[in-house]
Amino acid sequence: MTDRSRRRFLRGTATTAGLLGLAGGAHAGQGRALGLPVSGYGQRARHETAARWLTPTRYLASTASWTPLADQVGSLTPAGLHYERHHAGVPDIAPDAHRLLIHGLVRRPLEFTLAELRRFPQAERLCFLECSGNSYREWQGPGGVDVQQTHGLTSCSVWSGVRLADVLAECEPQPEARWLVAEGADAARLTRSLPLAKALDDVLLAYGQNGEALRPEQGYPLRLLVPGYEGSISVKWLSRVKLSAEPVYSREETSKYTDLMPDGRARAFTLMMDAKSVITAPSPGPTPLAPGFQEIRGLAWSGRGRVTRVEVSVDGGEHWQDATLHGPVLPVCHTRFTLPWRFTGAPALLASRCTDETGYVQPTREALIAARGANSFYHYNAIQRWRVDADGSVHNA
Amino acid sequence: MTDRSRRRFLRGTATTAGLLGLAGGAHAGQGRALGLPVSGYGQRARHETAARWLTPTRYLASTASWTPLADQVGSLTPAGLHYERHHAGVPDIAPDAHRLLIHGLVRRPLEFTLAELRRFPQAERLCFLECSGNSYREWQGPGGVDVQQTHGLTSCSVWSGVRLADVLAECEPQPEARWLVAEGADAARLTRSLPLAKALDDVLLAYGQNGEALRPEQGYPLRLLVPGYEGSISVKWLSRVKLSAEPVYSREETSKYTDLMPDGRARAFTLMMDAKSVITAPSPGPTPLAPGFQEIRGLAWSGRGRVTRVEVSVDGGEHWQDATLHGPVLPVCHTRFTLPWRFTGAPALLASRCTDETGYVQPTREALIAARGANSFYHYNAIQRWRVDADGSVHNA
């Protein structure tokens, strides 16, 4: 794709303005009526309809909603479209009444109000969160009808709060403490165990998201934020942290959030999210591709750090080209990649492959199944392929 | 401020949990009622009330609203709280009907739909926008009652769109073109001139903000985004770009948005926003400071590039300490800074001073007035001071 070919496309589709009256500014029919006044808190335009997709289920308090990745512009997810996964719905918590209790293997069990937590040094962290159930349908072959259904359980935000390490220091952990158990204040009392070493490294007690208070569905007024690990361990509506010598082996780390291997045993505490990428445009949607220039756009991410390379194939993996990574490329963040491409009407098979700073390369579906079998539900991170047919329609392949 | 002194503070205020029943998780009185279901597009918690402050005026369609910087967590501004400055209100534009006309000194005048613009390569830019009228009251001495009123006309977002240079290339600018004139589709037809060299450098035609479509009050569905320059030149609801040899000398760059100097002459086209900083906490507010640890937090920015240093004084500028800059420190972005401090009850005079990568140092009020007199309305960027009284109340000084 050269500049010249893109120019040719535009020559064909843009309306030459030479026929229009160009003297004044009233060419586009816009009115002169006074617009709406300034306001205290803005909302999106009434013409905008991008929405999370709700997993069809009888129980909408215990399900997921998926970020519309194809509609997203840029690498950040707006708070209103951040994916959700709740186990017993979103509680309505008055922040003044909320408390965080820290106890167990500590010399000084303490209970904190939010006002007390806000007096600790403020920390900020840009990172993605991904549900380990993201792409679960794809274990059994192409499942989701579009990128929202295949990959929409990942989102990227700026999180603000305080370092858990700073708060734990006040409680004086005892030497035998190796884990902590985090519990949410939702009706499910969702409970997860986290190695203390990670908790002391880069974990936040987050009260802010994208510059304002956490949204209710993201754990308002307080959540754990565990960069790089599967989403469910970033416990929302956090009300209790208990230090312990062992994990608690809760439902959400035994019956659920474990990976059944071909030999019948299950991997547990597979917390780290492996490198993954997906092409968001072109991707399956209601409007077929028009011939001509089509920028291939996508997102890549890794729980282990920075994305260092994304390759794109338009022939299903026979040949690969390096995509451009758009900075700032930050660790444990959605990284935007693009590659210029021209749709000629010939069928194509689009795919992207991500490499992270540890050298880990996103596997093919075949390699992933060979290693882990097809009994798993969580942690599917294989290369995703989109088939472009001659009519411009795009399909999960 | 040592770790030890902070710990002492917490010992005094946090409730020791030893008296509570710690066996179960039901310590905080949270209920077991099922919460709210997943939803298509989320809203903030009903308990949150942070709002833009509206400049008091008879005409709310031709005024400003100010970002609540003291309530902001982190360096990014949520779209709903991004400052506004409109000259004739917010038009309601249906995106399918919107057009961008590019004409004047070009070989090929062209009109683009949004769908056509979206097919150009996508670009993303994190940057602040600041109205050059920000802090205008401070020219006459301490004016705003809090940081929202003194500095709330600056906000920081991720903007997405296409490079204006790419689109202009399609129109084939003529060699004698040196400026462009940008016009909005609001009832004011707000019109500003921009040097073509800047337009070809890093200017975007932005259709996205913080991961979704522009908000109506930010120029939906299309705005100019001119990093580092005064906000009004990032023309909202952009409908027309005309290339020319000279600026158009519109109302907004002659009668307004010029700086009256002591000798009676006016500076025009002072587009670049100089380096500036402000302490957002502690800052004037309804709740007096409690004695003990108080992290000093603030924001610093420069239109010329990266912030390289922020110094903080607690004695009105007699002595300065280097604050910590929190990364990623990006060019033309709000950069968060912090310094640990302890309020003992002794009166204090807090101030911050910013240096950018060009070596420019934010001036004192005295130095600014000595250079420019006190007849200006725009481009006030002097060091801001907050006086902390013995009772913990904080005031503009």
Omega within 30 of 0 (cis) for the link into A286: no
What's residue A30's pLDDT? 60
Q: How far is B345 from B359, CA to CA, in rounded Å?
A: 36
- A317-328 pLDDT, tens digit each: 999 999 999 999
| Domains annotated on chain B, with CATH | 79-262 (3.90.420.10), 276-396 (2.60.40.650)
- Between residues B375 and B17, the one the model is more confident about: B375
Are the beta carbons of B122 and A73 separated by less than 8 Å?
yes
Question: Chain A contacts of B210, Cβ < 8 Å?
Answer: 74, 76, 78, 210
Peptide bond preceding B262 in cis form (omega within 30 of 0):
no
Closest residue of chain B to A97, computed from CA coordinates: B28
> A35 and B86: CB-CB below 8 Å?
yes
Q: Render each residue's pLDDT in chain A as its tens digit; 397 residues.
A: 334 444 434 443 444 433 333 333 444 446 788 999 999 999 999 999 999 999 998 888 899 999 999 998 989 999 999 999 999 999 999 999 999 999 999 999 999 999 999 999 999 999 999 999 999 999 999 999 999 999 999 999 999 999 999 999 999 999 999 999 999 999 999 999 999 999 999 999 999 999 999 999 999 999 999 999 999 999 999 999 999 999 999 999 999 999 999 999 999 999 999 999 999 999 999 999 999 999 999 999 999 999 999 999 999 999 999 999 999 999 999 999 999 999 999 999 999 999 999 999 999 999 999 999 999 999 999 999 999 999 999 999 9
**What is the reported pTM?**
0.93
Residue (of B357, B386, B383) closest to B296 by Cα position:
B386
Q: What confidence score (pLDDT) does residue B74 get?
A: 87
The pLDDT mean for chain B works out to: 92
- Structure confidence by residue, pLDDT tens digits, B158-201: 999 999 999 999 999 999 999 999 999 999 999 999 999 999 99
Residue A342: closest CA among B19, B43, B119: B119
Q: How big is the A-B interface in CB pairs under 8 Å?
A: 385
Dump pLDDT digits (tens) for B110-121.
999 999 999 999
- Contact call for residues A101 and B28 (beta carbons, < 8 A): yes
Chain B residues lying within 8 Å of A190, measured CB to CB: none
Which member of A30, A74, A294 has the closest CB to residue B208?
A74
As a three-state string, the secondary structure of B178-218 is CEEEEEECCCCCCEEEEEHHHHHHCCEEEEEECCEECCHHH
Residue of A nearest to B295 (CA): A121
pLDDT score of B26: 40
pLDDT of A9 reads: 40
DSSP lists the bridge partners of residue B234 as none
A74, A246, A286 from B41: Cα distances, Å: 18, 39, 21
Task: Say if strands A324-326 and A292-301 run parallel, antiparallel, or are unpaired.
Answer: unpaired
Cβ-based contacts of A204 with chain B (< 8 Å)? none
pLDDT for B21 equals 36
| Beta bridge mates, A241 | A102, A182
**pLDDT of the residue at B30:** 60
Which among A9, A239, A338 has the least Cβ separation from residue B30? A239
- CB distance A293 to A9 below 8 Å: yes
**How far does the CA of residue B110 sit from the closest CA of chain A (Å)?**
5
Tell me how far the alpha carbon of residue B105 is from its chain's centroid: 33
Q: Cβ(A114)–Cβ(A245) under 8 Å? A: no
- Which one of A212, A333, A341 makes the best mutation probe of the B interface by having the most chain B beta carbons within 10 Å? A212
Cα-to-chain-centroid distance, residue A95: 26
Contact A213 B73 (CB under 8 A): yes
Q: Which among A38, A84, A97 has the least Cβ separation from residue B60?
A: A38
pLDDT tens-digit series, residues B195-238 = 999 999 999 999 999 999 999 999 999 999 999 999 999 999 99
User: B107 to chain A: nearest residue by CA?
Assistant: A18
Considering only CB atoms, B54 lies closest to which of A9, A30, A38, namely A38
Q: Is B16 a residue whose pLDDT tops 90?
A: no
Taking contacts as CB-CB distances below 8 angstroms, the residues of chain A near B337 are: none
Distance from CA of A276 to the nearest CA of B (A): 20
